[in-house]
Chains A and B, each alone.
Chain A
Amino acid sequence: MTIAGRLAVELPGLKLKNPVMPASGCFGFGDNRYAEMFDLNELGAIIIKAATLKQRDGNPVPRIAETKSGVLNAVGLQNPGVDVILHDKLPVLHKKYPELPVVANIAGATEAEYVKVAQKMSASGMVSALELNISCPNVHEGGMLFGTDPTTARRLTEAVKEVSQVPVYVKLSPNVTDIVEIAQAVAAGGADGLSMINTLLGMRIDLKTRKPILANKTGGLSGPGIKPIAVRMIYQVSRAVDLPIIAMGGIETADDVIEMYLAGASAVAIGTAHFHNPTACPDIIEALPRKLDELGISSLRDLITEVRSAQTNDN
């Protein structure tokens, strides 16, 4: 099957009619009231909420704090566990939207847990790719700890790649000194693609209580405030590593999408924008063709080729 159209892009495991997908954790399993506001079949794909081996209750509340041009969250990977997701959540999503490619975000406290979740999820026949979450800043074991050391990140990628029946995208943490080093490590570990960036570790303090607003004290910062960091990191990584990148980090408009492509992205995920604009994804999909016209870009596929060859010349 080939996918036609100016917005169509092809990444390992993902033949997308457009490059726009809700980011993990901002859209549940498609089982929320956003689904009343537009047809999820319009999406390029959906990245579902992180799955762990066992049910996780998540962090105490408050889990959400607003910042200027951003949001802090410390949900803590709350999810019903991979078995319930495979039994109750994914079949419903798949039945309602049979054409919608699903990317499953997976997390764990140990390598063994990641491997088991990857095995189960990738063998289900209901997901097109895995997004290996080595970058959640809100859990005290696993999560970001796997994404901040190159050797650990590489070993985990290798272990998951060994068992996965679908392509694996590794979701990178921006909370590192050198993200290129981590990207190179997971590329050497066999990653099929990268997903970047996860949230930045942050904190807000309540002036009256004199204590952090979030019960977890720290949380992950997302939203347009972090977009320049995402653009810079994608720009750096795409020049050093020959892997397709799903870009995320404050994307709200078609302009933002094109900026990510110019940095080196192949597809995009939308997260925090949903909270103020629940129809951010379809709005962006609708606006993209006009934006391509305006900028004299024939198709996103051509844009990817152009950007990648310009990078080679730079190097």
Chain B
Amino acid sequence: MLTKNNLEIAAQEELAPGIYRIVLHGEFDYAAVRPGCFVMLQLPDEAYQLRRPLAIAASNETQKTIALIYRVVGDGTRLLSKLTPGMLLSILGPLGNGFSLGADNSAEEVLLVGGGTGLPPLMMLAQALNEKGYAVTTAIGFRTASMAFGEKEFEHNGKLLLATDDGSKGFKGNVGELLAKQSVKKYAKVYACGPAGLLQMVQKRFAETETEIYLSLESRMACGVGACEGCVVSTKDGIFNKRVCLEGPVFDGREVIL
């Protein structure tokens, strides 16, 4: 059953310029959380009519906390970044289908590809896949070294390939160029989250392989529960036949049309 709950801000920190991690504490349907799920967060100001869809970066049922990571993109997220511990936020969730993890005790090699605010759901995914026994490689890209975050989490759960546009850390170039230098045939699954260009790159790169492709999409949405048809996406089976909030946000990369 879906519920909205008031969760208390336990902590908030700036991970990189304009990138914040907020930890919320309280009652929540933790058992229903899967990597790739998101919540709709209500800002504490009624002028904001729409909840913000934010991916869950970590979930801890024992401590009753979830962590969200977001980028300040407008007035709403700026307001969110100024909120301090102790304040309550209305959270609707968990929402969305989440990533398909596959069998336990698999030794298969899997690749995670992310950029920008696509990283948070991959953090939770990397941990879940590592715990299942998969050999996880994560390829992530940033504009420059000072914008990087999440390296520790990904290194803890596997191998990390890092790219920066200006070469100030790791490979010089974007994630697509980084992957162009690698053989990707060995990966049984690829999971990607990030801007449309990055997802299209993954779709193209793996089109001729046997690799399972899972893409997590971002969309402007109003309801988050499949009611408003605001966040539709097309697949091979039809035009605007799926909703990012309900049937997604994770789609089969061979079905979804970007």
**A residues neighboring B (CB under 8 Å):** 25-28, 31-34, 36-37, 49, 57-58, 61-71, 73, 75, 78, 223-224, 272, 274-276, 278-279
Contacts and interface: CB of A to CB of B under 8 A. Distances in A.
B48 A275 contact: no
A64 B50 contact: yes
A63 B230 CA distance: 5
Interface string B187-226: 0000000000000000000000000000000011111011
B62 interface: no
B207 to A, nearest CB: 24
A25 B4 CA distance: 22
Say whether chain A's binding surface is mostly helix, strand, loop, or mixed.
loop
Contact of B219 (A61, A69, A275): A61
A64 B49 contact: no
B230 A73 contact: yes
Contact of A34 (B48, B51, B76, B225): B225
A223 B4 contact: no
Given A32-B223, A78-B240, A61 B2 contact: no
A312 to B, nearest CB: 37
Nearest to A222: B49
Q: Rank and list the top 10 A-B pairs by shortest CB-CB distance, nearest first.
A: A33-B225, A32-B227, A32-B226, A64-B230, A36-B2, A57-B239, A64-B220, A62-B220, A66-B50, A28-B227
Contacts of A57: 239-240
Contacts of B50: 64, 66, 71, 275-276
B229 A26 contact: no
Interface string B36-63: 0000001000111111000000000000
Given A58-B232, A279-B4, A63 B47 contact: no
19 contacts: A26-B227, A28-B229, A32-B246, A33-B2, A33-B95, A37-B3, A57-B240, A61-B219, A63-B220, A66-B50, A71-B49, A71-B50, A73-B228, A78-B240, A224-B46, A224-B49, A272-B49, A274-B223, A275-B50
A65 B246 contact: no
A4 to B, nearest CB: 31
Given A37-B3, A49-B229, A275-B49, 8 more contacts: A25-B228, A34-B227, A36-B1, A58-B229, A64-B228, A69-B46, A71-B222, A75-B229
Given A71-B50, A78-B240, A276-B50, A63 B225 contact: no
A276 B219 contact: no
B3, B49, B230, B240 — most chain A CB neighbours (10 Å): B49
B92 interface: yes
A92 B46 CA distance: 35
A155 to B, nearest CB: 30
Contacts of A32: 223, 225-227, 246
A64 B222 contact: yes
A69 B50 CA distance: 9
B24 to A, nearest CB: 17
